[in-house]
Structure 1
Amino acid sequence: MTDRSALQVQLERGITALGLTLPAEAVPRLLDYLALLERWNATYNLTAIRDPVEMVTRHLLDSLAILPYVQGETLADLGTGPGLPGIPLAIATPGRQVLLVDSNGKKVRFLREAIRALKLEGVRALQSRVEDVEGHFDCITARAFASLADMLAWGGHLLAPGGLWLAMKGKAPDDELVDVSPAFTVRTIHALAVPGLGTAERHLVVLERANT
């Protein structure tokens, strides 16, 4: 086990490098989430990343890097897996209604335990295929679980008018842009600098419903 104080220093430095200011209780709660994920991961294999130091970078800071682009009162995190980026975003900005969606039963069981243990108010976990989810959300996050075209085909109906779709990608998905439905407009593509990630590329594609 990596010393929690060392992980806290790493996390706090990363948050500072991202230019973020989080609530006072956010860092301990993020570390509590990481400890819970590490514990469950030993049995349920929720993520291929097992080193806590790497988890801080690739899970927590990677998720928090998109925080400046999150908007609105409601958020759906599609294909959330063990809660990424949804849980770190919910901890960083409490008060937003967050729906975590995944089709994998063991991951949703973990999500429900994390919501209970971390007392995440306004956060719900739903075991479902994306295309079967109902409702409208001001912001939708999706962390590279499919191509842009497939993401929007499966979950585009969930984006409220004026809402933003935040698609997290590794390399810039230039080859995927031509296949985006004309019902949606690519607003911007941001290159993200995730502290500790080195030369690995991270991009955020921001889409909105086209005015028709």
Structure 2
Amino acid sequence: MSASATSSSASLTIDPTGFAKLGPQLLLLADILAQSTEQLSLTLSATQQRQLLLYLDQLLLWNKAYNLTAITDPVDALIKHVIDCLAIITHLPAGDLLDIGTGAGLPAVIIAICQPERHCTALDSNQKKIRFIRQISSQLGLSNVQPIAARIEAHEAQYQVVTSRAFASLTDFVSVAQPRLAEQGYLCAMKGKAPSADELSALKPAWQIKTIKLAVPRLEDSRHLIELCNKSV
């Protein structure tokens, strides 16, 4: 590949220096990313788009050592990890953010790249995954990411926004996240299918709940963001 190449849809020059895994697919991935950010009404600089692609590159490079993802195809990983997380950005309330069970930094690192003014704490009990987040944050120059290797029960700070992709049960997420929520803060749970009526009815007495249906570019699977605010504050 030449020293630089241009992604036509993005009008973005992609320097392949530093990319270890994406190789000849770099232009295709840059095009998909640029088209997707436009569909999601996200305004990202050339630097931010490059950071997202470098994150994807390093995720796939270090996957075997750190067991980061079951998805190994670059296009699939871009859509199902990076773009999936990008779909929540415009819906997030303002404030310092805690991502519980962040894994490889999804969505914490993606949010931090897109919103450099927001401080993001990436929490996971898996030491290897936190080591990866620490490494990629340093490599990308993300001063707004704080990786912490701990269980949520052992973490004591409070935040305006608490997110997670990791919980199968919305009620379980609310149970562990509530103590970490600042007054007038928001819980934001990334879900596939919308929560069941039973799940919602169990939470409605204490929580104001907003279910946001997400349209993730190039992904046919159902995606939702559940936003909860405590009624007692």
Aligned counterparts of 2:108 and 2:203: Cα–Cα separation in 1? 24
Instruction: Figure out how many residues of one structure are paired with residues of the other and give that number.
Output: 210
Q: How does 1:146-165 map onto structure 2 within 5 Å? A: 146-165=168-187
Give every structure 1 segment of 4 or more consecutive aligned residues whose post-TM-superposition deviation is greater than 4 Å: none
What one-letter code is carried by the residue in structure 1 that aligns with 2:32? Q
Aligned residue among 62, 81, 90 for 2:84: 62
**Residue aligning to 1:32:** 54
1:180 aligns with 2:203: yes
Structure with larger RCO (C-alpha < 8 A, sep 6+): 1
Aligned residue among 73, 85, 110 for 1:51: 73
Contact 2:194 2:224 in 1 (8 A): yes
C-alpha distance after superposition, 1:64-116 (max 9, x if no partner): 10111222230111111000011111101102111000011111111111111
Aligned counterparts of 2:168 and 2:153: Cα–Cα separation in 1? 13
Q: SS in structure 1 opposite 2:98?
A: strand
**Residue aligning to 2:41:** 19
Range with bigger deviation, 130-139 or 189-198: 130-139
Question: For residues 201 and 113 of structure 1, do their structure 2 counterparts lie closer, same or farther at Cα, with a shift above 3 Å needed?
Answer: same
Aligned residue among 90, 112, 121 for 2:134: 112
- When normalised by structure 1's length, the TM-score is 0.94
Q: SS in structure 2 opposite 1:208?
A: strand
Please identify the structure whose Cα radius of gyration is greater. Answer: 2
Contact 1:59 1:84 in 2 (8 A): yes
Query: C-alpha root-mean-square deviation of aligned residues, in Å?
Result: 1.5
What one-letter code is carried by the residue in structure 1 that aligns with 2:202? D
Cα drift, residue 145 of structure 1 = 2.1
Range with bigger deviation, 81-90 or 145-154: 145-154
Aligned residue among 69, 76, 94 for 1:72: 94
Q: SS in structure 2 opposite 1:178?
A: helix
Cα drift, residue 179 of structure 1 = 3.0
Aligned counterparts of 2:120 and 2:94: Cα–Cα separation in 1? 11
Q: SS in structure 1 opposite 2:217?
A: coil
What one-letter code is carried by the residue in structure 1 that aligns with 2:148? L
What one-letter code is carried by the residue in structure 1 that aligns with 2:57? A
Q: SS in structure 2 opposite 1:179?
A: helix
Cα drift, residue 185 of structure 1 = 2.5
**Residue aligning to 1:206:** 227
Structure 2: unaligned runs, 5 residues or longer: 1-21
C-alpha distance after superposition, 1:37-70 (max 9, x if no partner): 0101133221111111011111111101011122
**Residue aligning to 2:188:** 166
Aligned counterparts of 1:107 and 1:176: Cα–Cα separation in 2? 30
Aligned counterparts of 1:107 and 1:150: Cα–Cα separation in 2? 22
1:103 aligns with 2:114: no
Aligned counterparts of 2:232 and 2:71: Cα–Cα separation in 1? 41
1:9 aligns with 2:35: no
Contact 2:177 2:187 in 1 (8 A): no
What one-letter code is carried by the residue in structure 2 that aligns with 1:129? R
Q: SS in structure 1 opposite 2:202?
A: coil
Aligned counterparts of 1:43 and 1:122: Cα–Cα separation in 2? 25
Aligned counterparts of 1:181 and 1:156: Cα–Cα separation in 2? 14
C-alpha distance after superposition, 1:117-142 (max 9, x if no partner): 11111211011111221111111111
The percentage of aligned residue pairs carrying the same residue is 41
